[in-house]
Structures are given as C-alpha cells and as structure tokens.
Chain A
Amino acid sequence: MTMEPKRTDAASGKSPATLYAEREQRIFDAIALKTPDRLPTILFSHFWVGHYSGMTCRQTMYDYAGLKAAMIKAVRDLEPDSYYPGQNMMAFGPTMDILDYRQLEWPGSRGLADDVPFQYLDREYMTAKEYDEYLLDPTGFMLHRYLPRVANGFKAMELLPQYPSVLHTRILMSVQAYANPAVREMFQTLIRAGEEMQKMLASADEMVVELNEMGFPLGNHATSHAPFDVASDYLRGSKGAMLDMFRHKDKLAAILERITQIIPANAIATADRNKGKYIFFPLHWGLDGFMSPVQFKTYYWPPLRQVMMTMIEQGYIPQVLWEGDCTSRLEVIKDLPPGKAVYMFERTDMKKAKQILGDTVCIRGNVPVSVLITGSVQDTKDAVKKLFNDCGDGGGFILDGGVGIPDEAKHENVIAMFETAKELTY
C-alpha cells in the first residue's frame, strides 16, 4: 500500500524561516515542560530512512549522497519538528573498511546480508586484569591496548612510546618509533580513514544546512553514554561487567568514577562542533529485569546522573533513550532539575512516566514497534492518539517511536504517525 504524504506545513503558505521558528519553539516548549501549540515530533530513524527511498542497509552505510537525499526526502515528507542526522548513526561503511574495524558486523561485511542492520559485538575488550592499567592511565590504555583491539588499522599503536614515562632527551630517542614501517603504514591508513570521514561529515553538514533552509531544525548534536554502559559494552563486555559486580566490585566502582570524569568531553566537543546542545544517550543495561534496584542505584544511576549534570550545568540538553521497560526506575531517575532533559522510553508505561516525571522531565516515545511494523494505518493513528491522551496533558511530551522508527516500519504507518500528530493541538 502506498500513501502520499500530505505535507500540510508546506501547504500552509508559511515561509521556511517561520516554520523553522515554530518547530524549534515546539521542541523548546516540550523540554521546558510548557504547552506547545501542537504535539511535537522528532524523526529518529536508523535504516528506515534508507528503506523509504529504496536503499538497502548496505547502501545506507556506504552511499553518502544517497543517504543525504533519502534523509531530505523523509524529512520533507514527514515534516517533523526535529530530526536526527542518519549519517552519524550509519554512514561508517567506507571508514570501517579502511580501518578493518572489528567491533561491528555490518551488511556486506563478514557474512551479514546486504539488508541487515549493523550489530555490535559484545565482547571483552578489556580484561579484568587490566583494570589497574586503565585506572592508572586511561589514555595510555586506550592507545596501546584498546584501539588495536577495536580495529586492525590501529594495531601499530602498540609500538608508540609510553609517553607518561618518556622525558627530556628520552623524548628525542623515542621518536624512532615513528620510523617503524608498521607505524608509518598505520598513519597512512589513519590519514585515509580521516579523509574518508571528513567526506562523510561534509555530506552530513551540507544536509543540515539544506534542511535548515527548508525550515527543519537539527535535533541531535552529539552522543554520549552511561558510565556503566561504557564499562559493560565497550570495556569488559556485558558478562564481564555483570560478574565484576561480585568479583571486582571495588575496581568496577573505581572505573565508573573515572569514566564519569572522562566521558562528557567528547560529547561536548562534538556538540560544539555541530553548534547545538542536544546530546543523545542510548542506554543499554539499566532497564528493569537486567540489574536489581540496588545494583541500579549503586552502579548505574549515580554515574549517569553525574555525567548528565555536568552537561546540564553547561547548558547542554541530554536526550536519554531508556531502552526496554524502565517503569520500576521512574522514581529514581526523576532526580534531575526540571525542564533540562528529555527521557525517551521504549516499552516503559507512558501513563506512569507522565504521572511520575511530568513536572521534571519531558518524555518522548513510544509508538510500539509492533504497530509500526505489523499494524494498519488506523492502528497507528489510534496508538498516537492514545499516547497523546495518556501523556500529552499540558505538554512535556514529544512523539516518537519506541526506539525511533524501526527499520522495517510500513511507510504508510510512519506517514500516518506524523500526520496524526499535526492534527493533535493543545
């Protein structure tokens, strides 16, 4: 079934600049817990945007011009109040090829079909014995140990000087490492990867400028993490981090404290580069059922809150995606200054979220993925209206899918979702 988007905003006769201001205000109002003129929307999608333009997952990861055109088509058709740029979530294919990247499997790489999304490989990237090394010198650990495990292109980092211990004339002697053939080759590879990434980012920047001119504000400027997820996903592996709660609890606590200090810097620098304030946090291990309430209050929430507060105090706006069902966490995660962040929920009970968080945090979500993928247009409209009734009261709510728009969502359902929101006025 095909359904033509109505583009009612474009048909209103308002200028792009006016529409831009209206859209931006709608999102500002929702975040500030004020009442906007109508239900605000965000287009947050991974591969659906490519699918909507007939691209496979692989094409979306490799074809910068194609992805840019697909993003622009989706945004113009759906007329969201804000959008996430697809590039910084997907267009990594060529750079990963150059680096021989090992943390993801992606379409067309080692065995995955062309129309399957990339998937993270949950492994132990730092052993339990390496806690002390990380704690002593995180940068040295990242350079000499971690990066070579993440991509073969970084392998020769192992050969670089141990800088904290290299001083005075030893600095001069240490530069011999840069003439090592493996190190030379590594830097050549990194230069090629860097040039490739600059091409990708240039394409993304062009898209943002074009969409700005068409009246669409960018809704995401950087990505950050919960410290426990860093320890779990990116260092110890999920199994390692869970076992460390028993086997190495002091070291786990120490590394979380260190990560909490370290982690805001890159997101803040990236947001500044992109001239915006919205920092996205995809959360993985904090949901109900994964860890106990006590473990959540010990290992997960305090470091995450600290990272968010570091950003909030500098004027940035965390957009936190609470994956899964986090209904039992609501009372704990309410502890933030009002109107300074957005909580996105996948399966959390939105009525309860509104009741508990309504005076603290703007909530966002969560048209069920099952409706968008298997339901009808009417099912989708009903789901949007139900959400508006359940948690739209007084504002403080932004419409989105559960984890954005699922890759396999029916096109007509996504169109219906955004069009229904435009009809829901306050």
Chain B
Amino acid sequence: MADQKSKLIQLISNMEEEPAVSLAKEMLDSGYNPLTLLAHCREAMEIVGKRYEKGEYFLPELMLAGEMLSAIGNMAKPLINTGEGPGQGKTAGTVLMGTVHGDLHDIGKNIVTFMLDINGFSVVDIGIDVPVDTFIDNIKEHNPQVIALSGFLTLAFDSMKETVEAIEAAGLRQGRKIMIGGGQVDESIRLHTGADAFGLNAMDAVNLCKGWLPA
C-alpha cells in the first residue's frame, strides 16, 4: 500500500499522466479507499505547487496536473459513500473568484483557482463576464473571506472598480479582502479599483490568501 501511495504521488508530480491514471485505476479496482487515494493526489498536487512556486514548473505542468486530478477524481468520486466528500479538510478559507464584466478571459482565473484549491482554499468560481450583481449575490450566499477579481483587458480596470464599489455599497466589504489580478494590473490599478492587493501570477494570489487567512 505504501509503495502504491508513493509511486502514485511520484508519477503525478513527475507529469507521467498515463502511468499515474492507470495506477490509480488499478488501486481503485482492487478496493483502495477512494478518499485516501484522493488525499494522495492532494499530496502530489502540493509537490506540483511547490515546483511551480520554485520556477521548476510552469502553466503546461499545472494544466496537466489538473487533467490528472480530474481524471482520477472522476474515477474515485462515484466510489465515495454519500456523506463523505473529497473536499473535506478544506479549512483554509473561502475565495470567491470571477472575471469581471465585459471580459471573457478565463485562463488566468482558472490557474489561480487551481493553485488556491491545491493550497487548501475552497474556491467558488463564478465564471467570466460576471455582472456586479452576481458578485454581490454570491458573496451573500457563500460568505467568502477573499474576493478575487480577474481581468485581462484594460476595460477590466473600471469593471473591477465598479465591482469593489458595489461590494462596499452593499455593506459586504467589512471583514473581507479583495484582490485583483490579470495581465496588466499594478499598484496604480489597485489604487484605481480600491482593492486591497494585486497579484501578477497564481503564486501571488496564493501568498496573499495565506497572509490574510493564516492556517
């Protein structure tokens, strides 16, 4: 068992997709606990995240890691008894994530979502071109500690500003942090939007959240 565990973690973290997925299938077929298997995957993802942080891995590796996690998750989840969830143990905090209105870009948002997820945050991803009211409704529904506004286009600066202002006007700002990210943001844009912080990449987002929500 321990051999299988370390082998699986090694295969996933070394980007060996086919052997990793085959081994996971073999383990599940022979009755391996699906929740334990998903915990191994999470351990592998932590290694992937660290390698990304150190500049050894880049977006292609994160994409492939996400594919492996999804393939193994799809095999394991039907085997999990009701009441047990693969998301158990996520206690680091909730992040509401969306690309602001007018902007249809999603790659940056997806990568940040993935990195936050593997770092133990519960991420509610509400998609692209998200109207201000949808952010407000989701804050009320999910009560996130962090709100992440993504945008690639320069038009997103004003959409972010409007979203931040609306959150404030709705009385939902207090006790939460707002971060912005995307291709062209910097400190001037942070000031323009009224957000608490900005990030240039997925690790910035993870570090901001870790700073705000210490484990």
Contact = CB atoms under 8 A, between A and B. Distances in A.
B102 A291 contact: no
Interface in B150-187: 153-155, 157-158, 183-187
13 contacts: A105-B104, A119-B103, A238-B107, A242-B60, A243-B64, A292-B57, A370-B188, A373-B154, A373-B157, A373-B192, A375-B188, A403-B184, A406-B154
A408 B154 contact: yes
Contacts, number: 84
Given A243-B67, A406-B154, A119 B59 contact: no
B104 to A, nearest CB: 5
Q: How large is the interface on B (under 10, 10 to 19, 20 to 34, 35 or more residues)?
A: 20 to 34
Given A119-B153, A406-B154, A406-B184, 12 more contacts: A116-B155, A238-B107, A239-B107, A246-B17, A291-B59, A292-B60, A325-B200, A369-B184, A370-B184, A370-B188, A373-B154, A373-B157
Interface of A: 105, 111-113, 116-117, 119, 121-122, 238-239, 242-243, 245-247, 289-292, 295, 323-325, 346-347, 368-371, 373-375, 402-403, 406-408
A324 B183 contact: yes
Nearest to A287: B183
B16 to A, nearest CB: 9
Contact of A113 (B17, B102, B154): B102
Contact of B192 (A119, A292, A323, A374): A374
A245 B107 CA distance: 17
Contact of B104 (A119, A245, A325, A373): A119
B140 to A, nearest CB: 25
B158 A408 contact: yes
Interface of B: 15, 17, 56-61, 63-64, 67, 102-105, 107, 129, 153-155, 157-158, 183-189, 191-192, 200-201
B119 to A, nearest CB: 18
A286 B129 CA distance: 26
Given A246-B64, A290-B58, A291-B59, A374 B104 contact: no
A292 B188 CA distance: 29
A369 B157 CA distance: 11
Nearest to B157: A373
B155 A407 contact: yes
Nearest to A325: B200
Nearest to A244: B60
Nearest to A241: B60
B53 to A, nearest CB: 12
B67 A374 contact: no
Complex A-B, nearest 8 residue pairs according to Cβ-Cβ distance, in ascending order: A370-B188, A242-B60, A406-B154, A374-B192, A292-B58, A119-B104, A242-B63, A116-B102
